[in-house]
Amino acid sequence: MSEKNGTPATPAGSIGPRPEPIRFFGTTWLDHDNGYAARRIAVSVGSLATAAVSCLVLRFAYEGLQLSDIGGFVTVLMVVMFAVCSALAYRHTWDGFSKRPDPDRQASLRGLLAIGFVGSLLAYFFRSLTEAPGEKLHREEYETAREQHESRTTRRTGNPAKKRRRS
């Protein structure tokens, strides 16, 4: 059992709440152990590199439109579409790190998030500079579940009315 800030973590054999794993981090976010810092660096570098490669792919698509000579309107429309979708995907992803997204809304935004994948990658990059993406949300939920579990399992011993008085 490890402790951080005086709060014991749930041991593997107990029946208390378990921390929810985060993608690429598992449960290392709980105590910041087992290569947590290295994972954060790798996630930061990986998401930034993936965003850069994605921008290159989008540039090739833009050049393909220029070569096909389909007109300025379609080219501008495509650039605006990717910019707006990336901004919306960034905001949606960033908000998802602090509160649970609504599953119905998530399903309806799936196409927009796929088009704006660069925004999601950048949100992941910026969040991983300070913490594991979603760590704050998971930590709050875990602490709440642990407190609820402790309050449910803490029992009073004996009947206070039968308590002996000291003379």
Q: What does each of the 167 residues of the chain score in pLDDT, given as a tens digit?
A: 444 444 455 555 567 889 999 999 999 999 999 999 999 999 999 999 999 999 999 999 889 988 888 888 988 999 999 999 999 999 999 999 999 888 899 899 999 999 999 999 999 999 999 999 999 999 999 999 999 888 887 766 666 667 667 76
Q: What is the pLDDT of residue 107?
A: 92
What H or E segment, with its residue span, contains residue 7? strand 7-8
Q: What is the pLDDT of residue 13?
A: 56
CA atoms within 13 A on the CB side of 20: 16
Whole-prediction pTM: 0.78
Beta-bridge partners for 22: 26
Residue type, 97: F
CB 145, CB 33: distance < 8 Å:
no
- Name the burial class of residue 126, with classes exposed (0-12), middle (13-18) and buried (19+) by CB atoms within 10 angstroms of its CB: middle
Q: What is the pLDDT of residue 10?
A: 52
DSSP string, 65-116: HHHHT--HHHHHHHHHHHHHHHHHHHHHHHHHTTSPPPHHHHHHTHHHHHHT
